Amino acid sequence: MKHHLTEKIQTVFGYSYTIGPYNKPVMEIQPGDTVIVETLDCFEGKVTSVDVKPSTVATIPFLNPQNGPILVKGAEPGDALAVHVESIVPRGPQPCGTTCLQRYFGALTPTARTLSEPFPEMVKKVEVTGDGIVWNKKLTIPYQPFIGTIGTAPLIYSVDTLTPGNHGGNMDLPDVAPGATVYLPIRKEGAYLYLGDCHAAQGDGELCGVAIEYPTTTTVKIDLVKGWTLDWPLLENDEFIMATGSVRPLEDAVRLAYDNLIGWMVDKYGFDKWDAYFLVTQVGRVRVGNVVDPNFTAGASISKKYLVPGGA
């Protein structure tokens, strides 16, 4: 069975700026259903040209609009939601990609407002296609799409869509890409899945605070894993498994992600805890999602070829 979450449906319900249990679901689906989601960019499409400054059209907290919540029938606290990312394609007229510098936003921007001059406010628009991103007349960079924000509702509180945490949220991990499966904790009956904020490309850290932001048609298949209680989002693809951590400072996000990865190796792959600790010390890898949001995000991964516990 396939469900279409069209822009018309989402507009009727309104886009969400918090991830929580109190918004009315935009649809109800069965486990195994496929949902086609028409996402907006983080500025709601309001930055229409290089002459439109984000500060004049985008106001916190009305940034990073999310599609959802999607209610998954049969989802209960203590289960896990498995979101299989099938495809992410550009939507709308070109150029549809937007990136920018903002006055006091981004990993390298001055933080002491009374002591430092802010960045200039600049906007760059780029053409985004499945063949690449036209940066300028001489340079095309790879099209590497992913979902920047995806999460499930906490039990009794809501989180703004700019903040990542143990519910998922604005992790900005480039590995949440076609071919990956994201596992999210379920804390509310029905799961209440939110997603949006797709990026056409992004380097580690999201230094400007925004990647190549663009509207998409994103297709995901949504399944349930009954009885798998997760504390934090996990991810896997054909090559590796990855655990996440979102907190400040960045070193603690890395520690948390690695601790969650070791726990996954022990619980699901049969590793001895200290053997797993030894192994990830040698072959573990870290991906930095962002160092700009209220929490920083890291993903710790290990290649599936090393998931062989109990060797002599």
Task: Write out pLDDT tens, residues 70-81.
Answer: 999 999 999 999
Is the confidence at residue 12, as pLDDT, over 60? yes
Q: Domain check: are 114 and 26 in the same one?
A: yes
Top-confidence residue, 67 or 293: 67
For the chain, what is the domain count?
Answer: 2
Percent of the chain with pLDDT over 70: 97
Percent of the chain with pLDDT over 90: 81
* Contacts of range 129-134, beta carbons closer than 8 Å, 24 or more positions apart: 129/90, 129/94, 130/89, 130/90, 133/97, 133/200, 133/201, 133/212, 134/95
- Domain boundary, last residue among 230, 246, 277: 230
Q: Domain check: are 124 and 201 in the same one?
A: yes
Q: Of all helices (H) and strands (E), which one includes residue 282?
A: helix 273-283
Q: Domain check: are 36 and 145 in the same one?
A: yes
- Domain boundary, last residue among 190, 213, 230: 230
Burial string for 200-229 (b: 16+ CB within 10 Å, else e) reads: bbbeebbbbbbbbbbbbbbbbbbbbeeebe
CATH classification at residue 27: 2.60.120.580
If pLDDT is split at 50, 70 and 90, which confidence band does 4 have? confident
Q: Domain check: are 162 and 208 in the same one?
A: yes
Q: Is 311 inside any structural domain?
A: no
What is the amino acid identity at position 175?
Answer: D
Question: Looking at 37-41, 105-109, 176-180, which range is the least confident one?
Answer: 105-109
Is the confidence at residue 105, as pLDDT, over 80? no
Q: Domain check: are 269 and 213 in the same one?
A: no
The pLDDT value given to residue 111: 64
If pLDDT is split at 50, 70 and 90, which confidence band does 113 have? low
Q: What is the per-residue pLDDT across 295-306, written as a single tens digit (0 to 9) for each? A: 999 999 999 999
The pLDDT value given to residue 6: 76
Q: Is 76 inside any structural domain?
A: yes
Across 256-265, average pLDDT:
98
The pLDDT value given to residue 117: 73
Q: Domain check: are 87 and 137 in the same one?
A: yes
- Domain boundary, last residue among 174, 199, 230: 230
Q: What is the per-residue pLDDT across 115-160, written as a single tens digit (0 to 9) for each? A: 567 778 999 999 999 999 999 999 999 999 999 999 999 999 999 9
Domain range enclosing 139? 2-230
Q: What is the per-residue pLDDT across 169-178, written as a single tens digit (0 to 9) for each? A: 999 999 999 9
Indicate the DSSP class of residue 45.
T
Is the confidence at residue 24, as pLDDT, over 60? yes
Q: Is 214 inside any structural domain?
A: yes
Q: Is 312 inside any structural domain?
A: no
The pLDDT value given to residue 115: 55
Q: Are 174 and 202 in contact (CB under 8 A)?
A: yes
Q: Domain check: are 203 and 112 in the same one?
A: yes
Across 27-52, average pLDDT:
95
Q: Is 145 inside any structural domain?
A: yes
Three-state SS sequence of 50-101: CCCCHHHHCCCCCCCCEEEEEEECCCCCCCEEEEEEEEEEECCCCCCEEEEE
- Report residue 123 CA to chain centroid gap: 23
Q: Give me the residue label for tokens 């991964």.
A: 301
Q: Within a 10 A sphere around the Cβ of 114, how many other Cβ atoms? A: 5
Is the confidence at residue 107, as pLDDT, over 90? no
Is the confidence at residue 94, as pLDDT, over 90? no
CATH classification at residue 295: 3.10.28.20
Q: Domain check: are 48 and 90 in the same one?
A: yes
Q: Is 18 inside any structural domain?
A: yes
Top-confidence residue, 12 or 167: 167
Which structure tokens are listed for 162?
């700019």
Q: Domain check: are 172 and 35 in the same one?
A: yes
Q: What is the per-residue pLDDT across 51-68, written as a single tens digit (0 to 9) for each? A: 999 989 988 888 999 999
Q: Domain check: are 137 and 267 in the same one?
A: no
Q: Domain check: are 129 and 264 in the same one?
A: no
Task: Identify which of 246, 79, 241 has the alpha carbon closest to the alpha carbon of residue 167.
Answer: 246
Q: Are 80 and 183 in contact (CB under 8 A)?
A: yes
Vertex 16: Cα angle to 153 and 38 (nearest 5): 105
C-alpha radius of gyration, the chain, whole number: 19
Q: Is 69 inside any structural domain?
A: yes
Q: Domain check: are 155 and 113 in the same one?
A: yes
Across 257-277, average pLDDT:
97
Q: Is 278 inside any structural domain?
A: yes
Is the confidence at residue 312, as pLDDT, over 50? no
